[in-house]
A and B are shown apart, each in its own frame.
Chain A
Amino acid sequence: MHIHQLVARLAWGDAIGNQVRYLQSLLRSWGHTSEIYADAWDDACREQVRSAKSYPRESTRDSVLLVHHSFESRLVPLIARSRGRKLLVYHNITPARLFEGFDRGAALACDAARRELLALRPHVDGAFAYSRFSAEELVAAGYRHVDVLPFAIDWNAFDTPPDPALREELDDGFANILFVGRAVPSKYVDDVLRVFTAYQRLYQPKSRLLIAGNIHRDAPYGGFLHGLKDLLGPEHIRFMGRVSAAQLSACFASATAYLSMSRHEGFGVPLLEAMYRDVPVVAYGAAAVPETMGGAGVTSFSRDPLDVAQLLAVLEREPALRQQVLTAQRDRVAGLSQQAVAARLRTALQGFIEGRMPEQTGVPAAPPVELVCPGFITRPDAPMSRLARELQQRLPESRLLALRARGEEPTLSLGPQATEGAPVWHFTPDQPVGPTPEPLPGSSSLETAVRASTGTVVLLGTDTAVAQSLMQAVGRRGWGVRDAAASSDETATEAARQHLGPRLLELDRADIHATADALVRSLASKKRGHRHAR
Chain B
Amino acid sequence: MHAEDLLTLKPTAQAVAAATERLPEPTTAVRDTLRRTLAASLRAPVAGQWPALLLEARAKADVRYVEPATSHRPLVGPVLVFAKRTFRGAFQPFINEVLRRQVHFNEAILDALTVVIENQREHARTQALWRRELEARMKRLEKDDPSASGH
Chain A residues with a Cβ under 8 A of chain B:
100-102, 104-105, 107, 190, 194, 197-198, 201-203, 218-220, 223-224, 227-228, 230-233, 285, 290, 293, 295-302, 305-307, 310-311, 313-314, 317-318, 321, 324-325, 327-328, 407, 491
Interface pair B37/A104, CB less than 8 Å apart = no
B15 within 8 A of A: yes
**Known A-B contacts A194-B41, A198-B38; A301 and B5 likewise in contact (beta carbons under 8 Å):** yes
**Known A-B contacts A293-B7, A302-B5, A325-B11; A220 and B23 likewise in contact (beta carbons under 8 Å):** no
Task: Find chain A residues with CB under 8 A from B106 CB.
Answer: none
Task: Find chain A residues with CB under 8 A from B114 CB.
Answer: 104-105
B127 within 8 A of A: yes
* A24–B35 CA distance with the chains assembled, in angstroms: 50
Interface pair A220/B6, CB less than 8 Å apart = no
Task: Find chain A residues with CB under 8 A from B41 CB.
Answer: 190, 194, 228, 231-232
B31 within 8 A of A: yes
**Known A-B contacts A202-B31, A233-B37; A307 and B23 likewise in contact (beta carbons under 8 Å):** no
* A224–B15 CA distance with the chains assembled, in angstroms: 37
Interface pair A203/B23, CB less than 8 Å apart = yes
Task: Find chain B residues with CB under 8 A from A201 CB.
Answer: 26, 30, 34
* A318–B5 CA distance with the chains assembled, in angstroms: 20
Interface pair B10/A299, CB less than 8 Å apart = no
Interface pair A300/B34, CB less than 8 Å apart = no
Interface pair A301/B7, CB less than 8 Å apart = yes
Interface pair B26/A227, CB less than 8 Å apart = no
CB interface residues, B 121-141, toward A, < 8 Å: 121-123, 125-127, 129-130, 133
Task: Find chain A residues with CB under 8 A from B46 CB.
Answer: 100-102
User: Per-residue CB proximity of B4-33 to A under 8 Å, as 1/0?
Assistant: 111111110001100110111010001100
Closest to A407 in B: B7
Task: Find chain B residues with CB under 8 A from A313 CB.
Answer: 20, 23
* In the A-B complex, the 10 residue pairs with the closest CB atoms: A227-B126, A101-B46, A295-B9, A299-B7, A328-B10, A302-B5, A310-B20, A220-B118, A314-B19, A324-B11
Task: Find chain A residues with CB under 8 A from B5 CB.
Answer: 300-302, 307
Closest to A217 in B: B119
Knowing that A227-B123, A297-B8, A314-B20 are A-B contacts, what are 5 other residue pairs whose CB atoms are under 8 Å apart, sorted by A's residue number? Answer: A194-B38, A231-B129, A232-B38, A300-B7, A317-B23
**Known A-B contacts A310-B1, A311-B16, A321-B16; A300 and B119 likewise in contact (beta carbons under 8 Å):** no
B93 within 8 A of A: no
CB distance from B8 to the nearest CB of A (A): 5
CB distance from B79 to the nearest CB of A (A): 38
Interface pair A227/B129, CB less than 8 Å apart = yes
